[in-house]
Amino acid sequence: MKKIVTPILVALTLGAAASAMAQTAAPAAPAEPESTLAYNAGVVSDYRYRGISQSRKQAALQGGVDYNDKSGFYVGAWGSTIKWIQDAGAKDGNVEIDLYGGYKGAAGDVAYDVGFLRYQYQGNTYGKANGAFPGYVDANTNEVYGAATLGLFTAKYSYAISNLFGNKDSKGSYYLDLSAALDLGESYSLTPHLGYQSVAKNPEYTYTDYSLTLGKDLGNGLSGSAAVIGTNAKNGAYAFNGNQLGKSSLVVGVKYTF
């Protein structure tokens, strides 16, 4: 018997085939971001923060932990050996621990990051009667910050809601940071940076800093860096035994993230 194919049957068959093809060709939904927990450890030839040596231009050991939630919230802790607090006359305070938390998101093409940062100097007696220089206060510092990134460029503003790094009556100090992230290929990166540290009611400690950092991803969580770092800080403002801690120098480091 000859099979008779009706127009209705053809239409139904073609429609089903088209539907199946559409389902097959449809792009997969983007994967939901994952929460991550990462650790890092490293060493630098000189711990520079905002251009100023925190380790008397000597090597420092560093390490930290970061938790990033898929919602955009994050918390972390980071530590480094330091020398400046004891160099200032305090009996203790050879470790800095930074505790921070915040939220990262995006508005159109602009990525943003807002948060809180606590600089904790363990056991320090900086600014107390049994040590340190007169006129200084506890070095522990609290800041809030906000950053915006568009393409290669990032601008960040940090505002002290406490005294800043032991400077008396310095609440309201701020730091403005401008940087760019340049991919040079072959796992190399270049990061130019310009910053301005304003120290409220202590203008002699206000300065501009700059750096140019060459980074290299060595694979398997290992990375290296070499940076030229310096400031225009006034002579004597940041110094130890005549050694200017903001003077330009080359700083190299290596870090392992796991």
Q: Tell me: the pLDDT tens digits for 181-228?
A: 999 999 999 999 999 999 999 999 999 999 999 999 999 999 999 999
- pLDDT value at position 30? 62
3-state secondary structure of 21: helix
Residue % of the chain over a pLDDT of 90: 76
Distance CA(169)–CA(200), nearest Å, equals 7
Entry pTM: 0.85
Q: Is 23 exposed, middle or buried (0-12, 13-18, 19+ CB in 10 A)?
A: exposed
Domain contains 199: yes
Q: Which pair of tokens denotes residue 205?
A: 């400690």
Using pLDDT thresholds of 50, 70 and 90, give the confidence band for residue 231. very high
Reading the block at residue 126, the tokens are: 């900086």
Is residue 86 very low, low, confident or very high in pLDDT (cuts 50, 70, 90)?
confident
The pLDDT of residue 62 is above 80: yes
How many domains are there within the chain?
1
In this predicted structure, the answer to whether residue 130 has a pLDDT above a threshold of 80 is no
How large is the C-alpha radius of gyration of the chain? 26
Asked if residue 18 is part of any domain, the answer here is: no
Beta strands in 52-169 (DSSP E): 52-53, 60-68, 73-81, 95-107, 110-121, 141-150, 153-160
pLDDT for 32 equals 67
Percent of the chain residues past pLDDT 70, beyond the cut: 84
Asked if the structure places residue 14 within a domain, the reply is: no
User: Which of helix, strand or coil describes residue 254?
Assistant: strand
Question: Which residues fall within 8 angstroms of residue 101, CB to CB, at 6 or more apart?
Answer: 73, 74, 75, 76, 115, 116
Looking at the domain assignment, is residue 15 inside a domain? no
Residue whose entry in the numeric block shows the structure tokens 């991803």: 217
Take residue 6 and report the two structure tokens written for it: 């009706």
Q: Which two tokens stand for residue 54?
A: 């925190």
pLDDT score recorded for residue 194: 98
8-state DSSP, 77 = E
Quick one: three-class SS letters along 171-237?
A: CCCEEEEEEECEEEECCEEEEEEEEEEECCCCHHHCEEEEEEEEEEEEECCEEEEEEEEEECCCCCC
- CATH number of the domain that residue 119 is part of: 2.40.160.40
Span 155-169, average pLDDT = 96
Domain extent, residue 110, equals 35-257
pLDDT of residue 27: 58
Identify whether 247 is part of a domain.
Answer: yes
Lowest mean pLDDT among 13-17, 157-161, 206-210: 13-17
